[in-house]
């Protein structure tokens, strides 16, 4: 028998058999379903936009296209960040200090 825990801090311990089949499952609140998919998509879009801003934009030759693509990626990052923060505020009631504004 093995004890394991999930990646989420609110997840409880589950007992696994040697065949790695869980004996009990967690039925608490977490980001499951559509909300988890949306938040994961937003985190991924923020990360991909940051990676594009760091690696893609400096390789472009034309300065005008660098500006357009760079500002577009910054806009995508800002929108994703603000949506994640507003969702966090909606779920927890805690406010976030806006260091960017």
Q: Determine, yes or no, domain membership for 49.
A: yes
Contact present, 45 and 76 (Cβ < 8 Å) = yes
Cα separation, 7 vs 9, in Å, equals: 6
Report the pLDDT value the prediction gives residue 3, as an integer from 0 to 100: 45
Higher-pLDDT residue of 64 and 19 is 64
User: Among 87, 70, 86, which Cα is nearest to 98's?
Assistant: 86
**25-52 mean pLDDT:** 80
User: Among 20, 43, 23, which Cα is nearest to 31's?
Assistant: 43
Q: Which domain holds residue 62?
A: 32-101
Q: Determine, yes or no, domain membership for 8.
A: no
Q: Determine, yes or no, domain membership for 74.
A: yes
Which percentage of the chain shows pLDDT scores above 90? 42
Q: Determine, yes or no, domain membership for 81.
A: yes
Mean pLDDT of the chain: 77
Count of domains forming the chain? 1
What's the pTM? 0.61
**51-65 mean pLDDT:** 94
pLDDT digits (tens, 9 = 90+) for 75-90: 999 999 999 888 888 8
Q: Determine, yes or no, domain membership for 46.
A: yes
């Amino acid at each position: 028998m093995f004890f394991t825990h999930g990646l989420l801090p609110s997840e409880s311990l589950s007992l696994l058999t040697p065949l790695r089949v869980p004996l009990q499952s967690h039925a608490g609140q977490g980001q499951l379903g559509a909300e988890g998919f949306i938040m994961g998509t937003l985190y991924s879009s923020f990360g991909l936009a940051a990676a594009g801003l760091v690696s893609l934009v400096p390789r472009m030759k034309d300065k005008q296209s660098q500006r357009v693509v760079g500002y577009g990626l910054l806009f995508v990052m800002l929108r994703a960040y603000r949506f994640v923060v507003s969702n966090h505020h909606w779920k927890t009631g805690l406010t976030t200090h806006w260091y960017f504004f």
